[in-house]
Amino acid sequence: LVCTQEELLPCKSLPETLLFQLLGLSIATMSTVTHYGLRFTLISNVSLDSNSYSVIHHTAFYFGICLSMTLILAALLSSAATVRESQCLTAMGFFCFALAFCGLIPAACWRYTHSTEVEESMMDVYDFVYEEVRRNTSSFRRHELMAIHEAFLCCGKHSPFGDTTNVENKTCPPSQVHDEGQDCLQEIQGFLKKHMDFVFSLLGI
């Protein structure tokens, strides 16, 4: 790209708008992974209506997509405004950035006021399936529990006495049972903490 002296300012600002477009695409990708990822969909499909996880799961996806589209639109408007030197397009671009900023404020507040709600709801879902299998030999719930164990690479809930129940013997992969696999509640908590830290680092940018 070759710029004349008069076009120097527009050319300098174009890489900045490209960064906003890449940020918007990154947020859209993260939202899609969060919504359609195997571990998240497994928990969402098992979740009961009384559990808040499904609502949080869908809300996070739509919020992320709306935020990413707003950022991409703002970047495109800013690019067009810079090239054409249009005050109207500049105002529209700033309005889109303001919408994105206003959307991030309640998201950040929710993150700090409900910091453990997501992980607690996910662990509640696992507890529910585990107890259903323990009380009843339903093949439907047992298949769900086996799928969760395979997805999270974990094995049941560890007893403080160190014994392994029939639930673990019937639903965990053989390698996890023999090698005393990871406690699923701890594995879910650790996985979600890493994921949420990454998500909010991206939103912080």
For the cut 70, the answer to whether the pLDDT of residue 159 exceeds it is: no
165 band by pLDDT with thresholds 50, 70 and 90: low
pLDDT, residue 50, reads 73
Supply the DSSP string of the chain, one letter for each residue. Answer: ----STTHHHHHHHHHHHHHHHHHHHHHHHHHHHHH-HHHHHHHHH--TTSSHHHHHHHHHHHHHHHHHHHHHHHHHHHHHHHHT-HHHHHHHHHHHHHHHHHHHHHHHHHHHSTTHHHHHHHHHHHHHHHHHHH---HHHHHHHHHHHHHHTB-S---TT----HHHHHHS-HHHHHTTPBPHHHHHHHHHHHHHHHHHHHHH-
State pLDDT tens for residues 5-26: 444 444 545 567 788 888 889 9
pTM: 0.78
Q: How far is CA 90 from CA 3, 6, 23, 95, 101, in A?
A: 21, 19, 20, 9, 17
pLDDT, residue 134, reads 84
Least confident of 55-69, 136-150, 162-176, 181-195: 162-176
pLDDT, residue 176, reads 63
Q: Write down the mean pLDDT value for the chain.
A: 81
For the cut 60, the answer to whether the pLDDT of residue 192 exceeds it is: yes
Largest CA distance in the chain: 77
CA 73, distance to chain mean position in Å, is 22
pLDDT, residue 14, reads 59
Tokens of 30: 């993260």
pLDDT, residue 66, reads 93
Are 152 and 188 a contacting pair, CB within 8 Å?
A: yes
pLDDT, residue 62, reads 93
Mean pLDDT of 122-146: 85
Q: Residue ranges of the domains in the chain?
A: 16-115, 139-204
Mean pLDDT of 56-77: 91
Which residue's structure tokens are 């339903």?
138
pLDDT, residue 7, reads 47
Q: Which long-range CB contacts under 8 A does 11-16 form with residues at least 24 apart?
A: 13/78, 13/79, 13/82, 14/79, 14/82, 16/78
Tokens of 29: 């990708």
